[in-house]
Amino acid sequence: MGQSPITGISTVMFDFYGTVVDMQGGLITALTPYLEEKGYTENPPSRLVTWWRRTHFENSMIDALLHRDHTPYKEIGRQAVDYTLDRAGIPHTMNEVVSLVAQIERLEPFDDVVAGLEALKGSGLELVILSNGDPDMLERGVAYSGTAHLFDRVVSVAEAGSFKPHAVTYRTAAELVGVRPDEVCFVANHAFDCIGAKAAGMRTAFVDRRKRPFGNDQYPPDAVVADFTELTAMLGAAPVA
């Protein structure tokens, strides 16, 4: 996109769900046969996944704002799925809810991700995941995605006691990795995540996969890229031959 490279960083920190792995597409794939078994046709699977994810997001933001006892990601997920199925009028059991939430651990990376991570890894940058997911979910999910060998560390927000974008989460992640916030380029497909990282002192790259305005002029991203191919070029990393 003709942008100036982000320089002076030692670490690239990534959101996982929706940035490294395709959460929307993967959950649509998982939910479709479930709705077919239920004989549900009132709304397409994509709409119910949007309800699910929006409810999950709202509940996790409430949890972060309260900043009291951290609610596990999987519990927020179960609340969101239960609400979504109730809203749609679909009879269900909690075992079905648990099974659907577990699909978050079986998501595939976007097509451009592995090559991009390999290029960044080859350039000598430290690669880290900072995710709202629980530690056990991330262990399984990162392994399933086939990207575990490319990351130097996986950090769950459980280690900071608050969901992103609470400021303490990004600062704690930097401390755990042993770098200053200004040495980090944080990468996310979500504007709120880039805003939180930028406010905490990190550089940010917004992966605009959905072609939507960023919507925040106070904490704008340092770069906007279409995918990980553009990200690696912007960070000055050569593709792996």
> So what CATH class is 11-22+107-234?
alpha beta
**23-105: CATH architecture:** Orthogonal Bundle (1.10)
The string over 164-174, giving b where at least 16 C-beta atoms fall within 10 Å of a residue's C-beta and e elsewhere, is bbbbebbbbbb
Residue intervals of the chain classified under CATH 1.10.150.240 are: 23-105
pLDDT tens string for the chain (241 positions)? 446 678 899 999 999 999 999 999 999 999 999 999 999 999 999 999 999 999 999 999 999 998 888 999 999 999 999 999 999 999 999 999 999 999 999 999 999 999 999 999 999 999 999 999 999 999 999 999 999 999 999 999 999 999 999 999 999 999 999 999 999 999 999 999 999 999 999 999 999 998 999 999 999 999 999 999 999 999 986 565 4
Q: What are phi and psi of 215, to 5 degrees?
A: 85, 15
Half-sphere exposure of 103 (CA within 13 A, CB side): 23
pTM: 0.93
Residue intervals of the chain classified under CATH 3.40.50.1000 are: 11-22+107-234
